[in-house]
Amino acid sequence: MESNIIYNSEDEEDLYKLFVASHESQLKSIGLTQNKWKTLFKKLNNSIFDAGDDFMYSQEEDSDDQEILSCTNLHVYTKSSMEPEDEEHVYLIDHAWTYTVDGAKRYNNSYVLQNANQAGSFTRCWFIMDEFGSRIHRSEEPTFSIVPFFFCGDKMMYSLLFPAVSVSAGEEVTCGYPRLKNASSEEMKMALKYPWEPRDLSDIDFSQSEPDLDYFM
């Protein structure tokens, strides 16, 4: 986590330079292209949550009961075409959501806060995205990326949404969470994806075996 910087200059270009200086490592690590940095800066600095201008909801009704509709039946779609290289298409998602215990596993996300001066020292924080972010469904071939981002200006954590591939108007917005490590076993991937892809895992042995005393000699 970068050091906190108070943004109180009247010169927007100076503000932007401060923003880049304090967030550059984050911006590069999350894969946000440099041409989007200034758009992101303006939205963060002015608290602009404008996803509603470019995205829309669609609710798929349950054929068994038209009156009882689950929030999981809501899907997010684009209002216009978008390209990954478009500089204006990066959106803020707030971290605020009320949920039931049974439904939490579908929406829980986490990020790690690490002290740059203390190697190996970190705190894992859990969060729920707002009603917009939580309605974005998972896909093995996601059309968008969602990544957590800490803004030093207001000392707040957000999630950023930006296109991962070219999308057309009316195309569904999907993301690839949970973020699976390449080294994860297939069994672990199935366990992590269980909230979205329920399956019988009872035949898989997840017990952890400890080494015997000879290992420590």
3-state secondary structure of 41: helix
Residue 210 lies in a domain: no
Least Cα distance to 106 among 114, 115, 97 occurs for 97
* pLDDT higher than threshold 90 for residue 47: yes
Classify residue 99: in a domain, yes or no.
Answer: yes
Range of the domain at 161: 9-60+70-201
Q: What is the CATH number of the domain that holds 23?
A: 2.170.270.10
Residue 208 in any domain: the answer is no
pLDDT, averaged across the chain: 82
Residues 6+ apart with CB under 8 A from 206: 187, 191
Number of domains in the chain: 1
The answer as to whether 2 is a domain residue is no
pTM: 0.75
Residue 82 carries which DSSP code? B
Mean pLDDT computed over 44-69: 78
Asked if residue 176 belongs to a domain, the reply is yes
pLDDT in tens, 9-42: 557 889 999 999 999 999 999 999 999 999 999 9
Residue 65 lies in a domain: no
**Residue 207 belongs to a domain:** no
Q: Is residue 121 part of a domain?
A: yes
Q: Residue 150: which of 116, 178, 175 has the closest Cα? A: 116
pLDDT digits (tens, 9 = 90+) for 171-209: 999 998 777 665 567 888 888 888 888 888 888 887 888
